[in-house]
A and B are shown apart, each in its own frame.
Chain A
Amino acid sequence: MAVDFELIMFFILAGVGIGTAAGMLLSRSAVYSALFLVLNFGAVAGFYLFLNAPFIAMAQITVYAGAIMVLFLFVIMLLGAEKLTPPEVLPWQRPLAVVLAGILILEAAYLLFLRTPGLGEIQMPGFGPDTSPAAIGAILFGKYLLPFEITSVLLLTAMVGAIVLVRPRKQGGGQE
Chain B
Amino acid sequence: MIDLALVLEWVIKSLVVIFMLLGGFAYLTWFERRILARMQTRVGPNRAGWQGLLQPVADAVKLVFKEELIPARADKVIFVLAPILTVVPATVLAVVIPFGTQVILFGRQVNLAVADINVGILFLMAVASVAVYGIVLAGWSSNNKFALMGGMRSTAQMISYELALGLSFVLVALMADSLQLSEIVEAQRTMWFVVLQPVGAIVFLIVTLAEVNRAPFDMPEAEQELAAGFHSEYSGMKFALFFMAEYQKMIVISIIAVTLFFGGYLGPFIGRFPWLGPVYVLGKVVALLFGMVWIRATLPRIRYDRLMDLGWKVLLPLVLGLVLITATGILLADEFGNSLVWSIPVVSILAGFLTVGLVDRSLRRKFNALR
Contact = CB atoms under 8 A, between A and B. Distances in A.
Interface in B217-266: none
A94 B204 CA distance: 56
B159 A67 contact: yes
A71 B128 CA distance: 15
A31 B78 contact: yes
A74 to B, nearest CB: 6
Contacts of B338: none
Interface residues of A, number: 24
B132 interface: yes
A70 B136 contact: yes
Given A31-B78, A70-B155, A77-B140, A65 B119 contact: no
Interface in A54-87: 54-55, 58-59, 61-62, 65-67, 70-71, 73-74, 77-78
Judged by DSSP, the binding face of B is helix
Contacts of A31: 75, 78, 137, 140
A147 interface: no
B122 A58 contact: yes
Size band of the interface chain B makes with A = 20 to 34
B136 A55 contact: no
B125 interface: yes
Given A66-B130, A70-B133, A133-B179, A78 B152 contact: yes
Given A74-B152, A77-B152, A59 B122 contact: yes
Contact of A54 (B78, B119, B137): B119
B333 interface: no
A78 B136 CA distance: 12
Contacts of A157: none
Contacts of A1: 1
Given A70-B136, A74-B155, A55 B129 contact: no
B148 A77 contact: yes
A154 B219 CA distance: 34
Contacts of A74: 136, 152, 155-156
A92 interface: no
Contacts of B125: 58, 62, 66
Contact of A55 (B119, B133, B148): B119
B159 A70 contact: yes
B122 A133 contact: yes
A65 B179 contact: no
B39 interface: no
B118 interface: yes
A105 B360 CA distance: 67
Contact of B118 (A66, A67, A78, A132): A132
A78 B156 CA distance: 12
Contact of A58 (B1, B126, B136): B126
A71 B117 CA distance: 29
Contacts of B369: 176
Contacts of A43: none
A37 interface: no
A24 interface: no
A11 interface: no
A5 B7 CA distance: 14
A22 to B, nearest CB: 18
A109 B104 CA distance: 59
B5 interface: no
Interface in A1-46: 1, 5, 31, 35, 38
B119 A61 contact: no
Nearest to A45: B126
Contacts of A132: 118
B2 interface: yes
A67 B128 CA distance: 11
A133 B152 contact: no
A81 to B, nearest CB: 12
Interface centre among B118, B133, B148, B159 (most CB of A within 10 A): B133
B117 A61 contact: no
B122 A55 contact: yes
B123 interface: yes
Nearest to B78: A31
Nearest to A82: B140
A77 B132 CA distance: 14
B152 A61 contact: no
Nearest to A65: B130
Nearest to A38: B133
Contact of A133 (B2, B119, B133, B137): B119
A35 B140 CA distance: 13
A63 to B, nearest CB: 8
B136 A61 contact: no
Given A66-B162, A67-B129, A78-B152, 5 more contacts: A31-B75, A35-B133, A58-B123, A70-B136, A73-B133
20 contacts: A54-B117, A54-B118, A55-B122, A58-B123, A59-B122, A61-B126, A61-B127, A61-B129, A61-B130, A62-B122, A62-B125, A62-B126, A62-B129, A65-B129, A66-B126, A70-B159, A73-B133, A77-B136, A133-B118, A134-B178
